[in-house]
Amino acid sequence: MDLSEADSTVSTEIRTSGLFQAQDADVVIRSSDNFDFHLHKKYLEFATGGFPSADTPTNEEVVKLPETASTLEYLFQFVYPQRHPSLDRLGFAQLIELAEAAEKYEVYGALTACHLTLR
């Protein structure tokens, strides 16, 4: 499911990101619009400065973030060891939201990509 086209209305139904649904995930992060991202803490620790270390217990609790699913889906693509997404199709407002999240969570690859795209 491409979250860049997700319905902008607030839903109480919990959905799962199509890109981030690892069965062996050790942390679940929920967006403000109720999308769950099943992630690996080791990648968050390695590629960010804004998330706790991989050995920090989450006690199987869902970590809720104020960003939308669309923003987080782009952000987390910069966290995993994979080819980074193109940001050329994002609108100005989406790029700004992504840049703000990248700065907040210290995902410098995403921040650099946003700056280059905004030039």
CA separation (Å) from 15 to 4, 20, 56, 63?
14, 11, 25, 15
Work out how many domains the chain is built from and give that number. Answer: 1
* 2, pLDDT greater than 90: no
Question: Cα separation of 70 and 65, whole Å?
Answer: 12
Task: Please give the model's pTM, rounded to 2 decimal places.
Answer: 0.86
Question: Cα separation of 4 and 7, whole Å?
Answer: 9
* 57, pLDDT greater than 90: no
Mean pLDDT of 38-62: 90
Residue 55: phi and psi, rounded to 5, are: -90, 5
CATH assignment of the domain containing 64: 3.30.710.10
* pLDDT value of position 1: 43
Over residues 12-45, the pLDDT tens digits come to 899 999 999 999 999 999 999 999 999 999 999 9
Over residues 74-83, the pLDDT tens digits come to 999 999 999 9
Q: Are 40 and 27 in contact (CB under 8 A)?
A: yes
Domain that holds residue 72: 3-118
Average pLDDT, the chain: 90
Choose between 53 and 78: higher pLDDT. 78
CB neighbourhood size of 60 (10 A): 8
